[in-house]
Amino acid sequence: MSSTNLVSKICLAAGVSLCAVMASSALADKMPVEQSMSTLEYELLSRGDLWTYKKLDGYSEAPFLNDLVKAGKLPPVEERLPAEPLVMKTMAMSDGIGVYGGVFRHVIGGRPEGWNWLAGQHQGWGGINMAIQECLVRNGPLWQVKAEEQSGPLPNLAKSWEWSEDKTELTMHLVEGVKWSDGDPFDTEDIRFWWEDNVQDENVASRLPKGGLGDGTTLEVIDAYTFKFTFTKPQGPEILKSLAYIQGCPGPAHALKAKHPKYNKDASYEEYRNAMPADAVPPVVLGGWVPVRHKADELVILRRNPYYWKTDEAGNQLPYINEMHFKLTTWSDRTTQAVAGTADFSNMENPGNYVEGLKQTLSADAPVKANFGPRVLSWRLELNFSETNGVQDEVDAELRKFFRQKDFRVALSHALDRQAIGQSVARGPFMYPYSGGFSNGSPYYDYDSTVYYPYDLAKANAMLDALGIKDTDGNGIRNMPGSGADLEIDMTTDRRQVTDKKQADAIILMLAEAGVRVLIRNVDTIDTASKNGDFNMLIRRKEWALPTRETCFHLPIANSCPDRHLPGSDGTRNLMDFEVEMVDAYNTILSSWDAVEAAEAAKTIQRLWTENAYTIGTVQAPAALLVNKRIKNAHPGTPVNMFEWAEDGVVRERLWTPKDQQLKELLPGTIAEY
């Protein structure tokens, strides 16, 4: 589906919705279909349509590598590739098999901390990590996979795996013959080093925590390409997703061992963390591109990895693109430059800028196109359900009692005119009502399980009256029956988020109509402010596409989360019945081996969440990926972030640029030299 079509479709849907909302007050507990965004659909594939592992009749490579082979600087491509490389299938490529050459330009706000990702260092985000790290399995491209085949991650360095009968043992098989970018073989010694000397070493702040695969999990190397995890209790397929970016990505044992305190008595753990400093290029990697220049604070240049272990179906060694740039500026500059055409890739997820952004991208000479994908941004009000944590006085205590009553939450929901809130954020057909739970576009979102409490001020007032919260002193604000205090709720908002602030302003006015006074408490970063549970109500953007991702932000699966329902100082908390039911459903998803059963459990969560107004959704909006028109195979509909961020979802190794549109390479003819 082209982006233009999609935009007009959205506009059309919103046009209808504006008419429909006038006559929809009779709809009490279902969101009108045209308002729900559930009509946006994308072409999906089977898992096996994405890639496979097989030997091909012959291989070809970027022409300049051919020259290096002839000059004796590189072994022939057949010797650099595994016996059975990972083969990207043509049917999953929207523009088909590509041509070699050209440059892919990123602009990011991050800066590489160093190249030792095993010790938890980041490479600046914005796609550098994903260009150099390859992981045991992969999640990003799962957005292209049909819902009925969503069960665990996609294979990557681990080409296959088997579970024992009792689901406590997992045997994984690596692709045989993969080589690091310096030509050194990749094998289970790299896996062992990753697991034993990093994940399990308490002095290393690795990305996969020690208990990240369950406490007591052990790893055993069987042979050069086979290893086995043993779990202390049965597991479901979802646990494997933890081995995708950025947690299950091995580092080069042969390059790092000498810097690790276990093998080098003179080294400290602090030194080990910084064993591959950002300025020391090239690092040894398994990814499609290798950093070869780091101009601190200004630019990182990556060149193709001649040992990359993936090909297309015609036997062309990937990636297609020779050179990758990461210009180091600011995050806001990323979108500006993408729209201007001086960067090739960015996401557009600030609805306040959509009108101008689309105006820019829709003009005929615009260098960039906006792909709206199934990633939906959504905002929600969260009420604090803890009876003790953050409770300052008897008024707080009484407030929390009401927060824990379903009718109170439903009344607040009825008091919100979501169409008006949406228009306060972005004029035009961009914002839709949202009632909470899974995001639209998520494979786990289910329209029929979603309950909606639309704008109905009379009903809101009646429900609050029925709860005994009436305006007894005649000042226009309801009084709470116990303390007699005005019904004032402090709402924490992030001062830097313009979209949140605009909604907060609208919500203050709407709740005032229902006799509820909202007092704003501005903070710098809401996640930092909320983590101690010291708030009564807050508004923030928070999506939930996958039950197993960032679950702690959503469900009380551990004692330390979510922020809105933390235990008191005695360590206990009183979960509401439907919360317990949701956690049960979540555990079913975790342990289930039946995709249908897992999907049903997700529906249960969705129904319980929205019916009980667990969080009070406000509005939602689609997000777009901005991609330069030169770039081919950037599949329409690629989400900005769903199973993983777009850099992984779009599968950059299969992107290409037609010869006549390729930009000049800064370091033509070169590769990383060690």
Partner 1 sequence: MGLLRFLAQRAAATLVLLIGISIVSFAIIQAVPGDYVDMWMSTTAAQTGQSRAVLEPQAEILRAQLGLDQPVVVQYWRWIVGIVSAGNFGDSFFFSKPVTEVIGLRLPRTLALAFTAMVLAQFIGGALGVYAAMNQYKLGDTISTIVAFLGIVIPKFVVSLIILYYLAFVWHSPYIGALQSPEYLLQDHWSLDKLWDFLKHVWPILLISIWAGQAYTLRMMRGNLLDVMKSQYIETARAKGLSRRRIIMVHAIPNALHPVIMNIGSRFEYMIKGEIEIAIVLGVPTIGPLILSSVAERDMYVVAAIFMLVATIMVVGNLVADLLLAVVDPRVRQAAMEGNT
Instruction: Decide whether 17 or 116 has the Cβ nearer to partner 1.
Output: 116
* Contact assessment for residue 259 and residue 267, using Cβ atoms and an 8 Å cutoff: yes
How far apart (Å, rounded) are the C-alpha atoms in residues 464 and 454? Answer: 16
Q: Does 8 bind partner 1 (CB under 8 A)?
A: no
Part of the chain binding partner 1 (CB under 8 A), chosen from 221-229, 322-330, 616-624, 652-660: 322-330
Instruction: Decide whether 447 or 553 has the Cβ nearer to partner 1.
Output: 553
Q: For partner 1, what does the binding mask look like between residues 267 and 306, x meaning CB under 8 A?
A: --xx--xx--xx--------------x-xxxxx-x-----
Q: Which of 155, 152, 151 is nearest to 138 (CA)?
A: 155
Q: Which of 393, 407, 527, 584 binds partner 1 (CB under 8 A)?
A: 527
Q: Which of 655, 666, 671 is nearest to 94 (CA)?
A: 655
Part of the chain binding partner 1 (CB under 8 A), chosen from 114-122, 395-403, 473-481, 587-595: 114-122
Instruction: Decide whether 211 or 484 has the Cβ nearer to partner 1.
Output: 211
Part of the chain binding partner 1 (CB under 8 A), chosen from 28-36, 320-328, 381-389, 610-618: 320-328
How far apart (Å, rounded) are the C-alpha atoms in residues 455 and 457? Answer: 6
**Contact set for partner 1, span 367-406 (CB under 8 A):** 367
Q: Does 46 bind partner 1 (CB under 8 A)?
A: no
In which residue are the tokens 């991702």 written? 549
* Contact assessment for residue 617 and residue 378, using Cβ atoms and an 8 Å cutoff: yes
Q: For partner 1, what does the binding mask look like between residues 232 and 271, x meaning CB under 8 A?
A: ----------x---xx---------------------xx-
Percent of residues in the chain assigned helix, strand, coil, to nearest 5 = 30, 20, 50
Instruction: Decide whether 31 or 546 has the Cβ nearer to partner 1.
Output: 546
Instruction: Decide whether 448 or 570 has the Cβ nearer to partner 1.
Output: 570
**What are the start-end ranges of the H helices in 415-549?**
418-425, 457-466, 498-513, 526-530
Q: Which of 9, 30, 192, 210 binds partner 1 (CB under 8 A)?
A: 210
Residue 43 C-beta: closest distance to partner 1, Å: 26
* Contact assessment for residue 633 and residue 641, using Cβ atoms and an 8 Å cutoff: no
Instruction: Decide whether 103 or 460 has the Cβ nearer to partner 1.
Output: 103
Q: Which of 524, 570, 577, 660 binds partner 1 (CB under 8 A)?
A: 524
Instruction: Decide whether 35 or 121 has the Cβ nearer to partner 1.
Output: 121
Part of the chain binding partner 1 (CB under 8 A), chosen from 35-43, 82-90, 205-213, 387-395: 205-213
Q: Which of 49, 84, 95, 113 binds partner 1 (CB under 8 A)?
A: 113
Cβ-based neighbour number of residue 543 at 10 Å: 25
Q: Residue 31 has which token pair?
A: 């969101």
How far apart (Å, rounded) are the C-alpha atoms in residues 252 and 286? Answer: 9
Which helix or strand (DSSP H or E) is residue 192 part of? helix 188-194
How far apart (Å, rounded) are the C-alpha atoms in residues 76 and 98? Answer: 21
Q: Residue 346 has which token pair?
A: 């960015």
- How many residues bind to partner 1 according to rule CB under 8 A? 71
Instruction: Decide whether 417 or 644 has the Cβ nearer to partner 1.
Output: 644
Q: Are strands 517-523 and 616-628 parallel, antiparallel or unpaired?
A: unpaired
Part of the chain binding partner 1 (CB under 8 A), chosen from 35-43, 209-217, 396-404, 455-463: 209-217
**Contact set for partner 1, span 551-570 (CB under 8 A):** 551-552, 557-561
How far apart (Å, rounded) are the C-alpha atoms in residues 564 and 579? Answer: 12
How far apart (Å, rounded) are the C-alpha atoms in residues 459 and 456? Answer: 5
Q: Does 670 bind partner 1 (CB under 8 A)?
A: no
Amino acid at 308: Y
From edge to edge, which strands make up the β-sheet containing 86-88?
51-53, 86-88, 310-312
Which helix or strand (DSSP H or E) is residue 396 part of? helix 394-403
Residue 333 C-beta: closest distance to partner 1, Å: 4
Q: How far does the chain reach from its first CA to its final CA, in angstroms? A: 45
Instruction: Decide whether 103 or 286 has the Cβ nearer to partner 1.
Output: 103
**Contact set for partner 1, span 212-231 (CB under 8 A):** 212
Q: Does 121 bind partner 1 (CB under 8 A)?
A: yes
Amino acid at 176: E
Residue 540 pairs in a beta bridge with 380
Q: Which of 89, 122, 257, 470 binds partner 1 (CB under 8 A)?
A: 122
Q: Residue 117 has which token pair?
A: 């990702």
Instruction: Decide whether 210 or 517 has the Cβ nearer to partner 1.
Output: 210
In which residue are the tokens 């080990």 written? 272
Part of the chain binding partner 1 (CB under 8 A), chosen from 176-184, 328-336, 571-579, 610-618: 328-336
- Indicate if the alpha-carbon torsion angle 89, 94, 96, 99 is positive or negative: negative
Instruction: Decide whether 125 or 320 has the Cβ nearer to partner 1.
Output: 125
Q: Does 501 bind partner 1 (CB under 8 A)?
A: no
Residue 293 C-beta: closest distance to partner 1, Å: 6
Q: Residue 348 has which token pair?
A: 């557009």
- Indicate if the alpha-carbon torsion angle 548, 550, 555, 559 is positive or negative: positive
Residue 551 C-beta: closest distance to partner 1, Å: 7
Residue 428 DSSP class = S
Residue 149 C-beta: closest distance to partner 1, Å: 21
Part of the chain binding partner 1 (CB under 8 A), chosen from 224-232, 323-331, 454-462, 484-492: 323-331
Residue 76 C-beta: closest distance to partner 1, Å: 31
Q: Does 541 bind partner 1 (CB under 8 A)?
A: no
Which helix or strand (DSSP H or E) is residue 649 part of? helix 646-649
Q: Does 673 bind partner 1 (CB under 8 A)?
A: no
Q: Does 632 bind partner 1 (CB under 8 A)?
A: no
Residue 207 C-beta: closest distance to partner 1, Å: 6
Cβ-based neighbour number of residue 560 at 10 Å: 11
Instruction: Decide whether 17 or 361 has the Cβ nearer to partner 1.
Output: 361
CA distances from 356 to 323, 336, 363, 503 (A): 31, 11, 11, 20
Q: Which of 151, 171, 230, 329 binds partner 1 (CB under 8 A)?
A: 329
